[in-house]
């Protein structure tokens, strides 16, 4: 059989993965869901490549690209069939990889001029209804967390996706929420933004807890952008950071930082949260985050140390783009190559360090 670029990568990875120590409970990768025509390749990648790399957790951001039966009116182009979602989940189970499905909740309800399926189907759920035509002047739309009907719709989507994936955990996104508690919203106007954000986290968390499932979210809205110097993207400048004091401690925080290894994983762990550090496309940042996680697990007091779970590499390109960059087969964007190179460097260090520890 022809030796492909993927086979070469797997052979190199296999040298270290067999001795991968279990010092980090989460060794994860975050990817967008594949297109329907990419599912077969995605299944092979999950089954063959990811275990060899040492990945044991895969967050797949499905969003509204699923052929939902309970809410068929909410669907994006290139939606996956229910059988395709099941195939991805089955591949994860075969590879002993925990699958954490994701739909972005609260924020990220649009991108550039395109409003996503939830607010297209239910425009009255919008936090700023009728404002910002073509989404000009904003980053992303949000839904109103106090709308009386939004959660019965959203939770139908969440439940159906979780059941298709047979998942025990769910990632709700909730990053970069800039539109919250807006004066344009008759329900949220004048309310405390931290309490609004925390209330939405609690609603989602409590809904999942009813079926014994656990919530993951990105951590940026829980950090004070002014005190930390992290600014408005990796942290909050609109007051939502105080929500960290108001949400349950069993929420898993994905602590993303892409340009520096900010020591905020220690902050979350000290507050009582389990935390996963999330790099993107700079290997030096990813390796520094890994070093910090290991240092905390070895040197922090035990209650804090055990809450530092590991790493979750992000990609922010399509599944196919990342796969082509990873294998070197086909064209991929510069961003995909950067993310794939960061992933390879991070997981090579995980395997190397594990091997040296034996």
| pLDDT > 70: percent of the chain | 92
Q: What are the tens digits of pLDDT across the range 254-299? A: 999 999 999 999 999 999 999 999 999 999 999 999 999 999 999 9
Between 4-8, 153-157, 215-219, the lowest mean confidence (pLDDT) is in 4-8
pLDDT band of residue 356 (cuts 50, 70, 90) is very low
Query: Residue 15: its pLDDT value, please?
Result: 47
Query: Residue 352: its pLDDT value, please?
Result: 86
Query: Residue 95: its pLDDT value, please?
Result: 98
pLDDT band of residue 3 (cuts 50, 70, 90) is very low
Query: Residue 5: its pLDDT value, please?
Result: 53
pTM of the model: 0.93
11-18: long-range contacts, CB 8 A cutoff, minimum separation 24? 13/49, 13/52, 13/53, 13/54, 13/347, 13/348, 13/351, 14/52, 15/351, 15/355, 16/54, 16/348, 16/351, 16/352, 16/354, 16/355, 17/51, 17/52, 17/53, 17/54, 17/351
Q: How many whole angstroms separate alpha carbon 341 and alpha carbon 148?
A: 45
Domains of the chain by residue range: 105-214+226-239
Residue bearing tokens 């009728």: 130
| DSSP-assigned states of every residue in 113-160 | TEE-HHHHH-GGGBSSTT-SGGGTT-S---B-TT-TTHHHHHHHHHHH
Q: How many whole angstroms separate alpha carbon 168 and alpha carbon 163?
A: 9
For range 59-77, the mean pLDDT = 98
* Residue 253 to residues 6, 47, 173, 226, Cα–Cα distance (Å): 32, 27, 10, 20
pLDDT at residue 8 is higher than 70: no
Q: Which residues contact 156 (CB under 8 A, 6 or more apart)?
A: 68, 70, 71
Query: Residue 18: its pLDDT value, please?
Result: 41
CA angle 141, 255, 127 (to 5 degrees): 15
């Amino acid at each position: 059989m022809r030796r492909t670029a993927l086979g070469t990568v797997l052979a190199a990875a296999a040298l270290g993965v067999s001795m991968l120590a279990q010092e980090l409970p989460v060794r994860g990768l975050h990817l967008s869901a594949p297109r329907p025509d990419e599912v077969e390749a995605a299944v092979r990648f999950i089954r063959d490549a990811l275990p060899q790399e040492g990945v044991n957790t895969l967050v797949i951001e499905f969003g509204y690209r699923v052929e939902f039966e309970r809410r068929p009116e909410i669907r994006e182009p290139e939606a996956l069939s229910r059988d395709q979602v099941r195939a991805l989940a089955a591949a994860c189970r075969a590879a002993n990889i925990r699958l954490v499905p994701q739909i972005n909740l609260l924020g990220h309800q649009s991108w550039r001029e395109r409003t996503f399926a939830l607010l297209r189907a239910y425009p009255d759920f919008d936090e700023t209804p009728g404002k910002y035509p073509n989404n000009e002047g904003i980053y992303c739309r949000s839904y109103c967390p106090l709308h009386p009907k939004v959660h019965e719709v959203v939770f139908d989507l969440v439940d159906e996706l979780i059941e298709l994936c047979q998942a025990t955990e769910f990632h709700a996104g909730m990053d970069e929420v800039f539109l919250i508690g807006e004066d344009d919203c008759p329900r949220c106007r004048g309310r405390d933004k931290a309490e609004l954000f925390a209330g939405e986290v609690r609603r989602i968390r409590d809904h999942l807890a009813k079926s014994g499932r656990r919530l993951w979210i990105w951590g940026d809205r829980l950090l004070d952008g002014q005190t930390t110097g992290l600014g408005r993207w990796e942290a909050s400048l609109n007051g939502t950071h105080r929500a960290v004091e108001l949400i349950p401690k069993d929420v898993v925080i994905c602590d993303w930082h892409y340009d520096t290894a900010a020591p905020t994983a220690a902050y979350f762990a000290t507050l009582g949260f389990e935390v996963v550090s999330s790099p993107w496309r700079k290997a030096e940042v990813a390796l520094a985050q890994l070093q910090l996680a290991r240092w905390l697990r070895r040197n922090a007091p035990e209650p804090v140390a055990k809450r530092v779970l590991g790493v979750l590499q992000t990609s922010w390109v399509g599944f196919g783009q990342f796969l082509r960059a990873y294998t070197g087969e086909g064209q991929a964007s510069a961003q995909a190559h950067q993310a794939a190179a960061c992933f390879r460097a991070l997981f090579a260090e995980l395997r190397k360090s594990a091997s040296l520890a034996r």
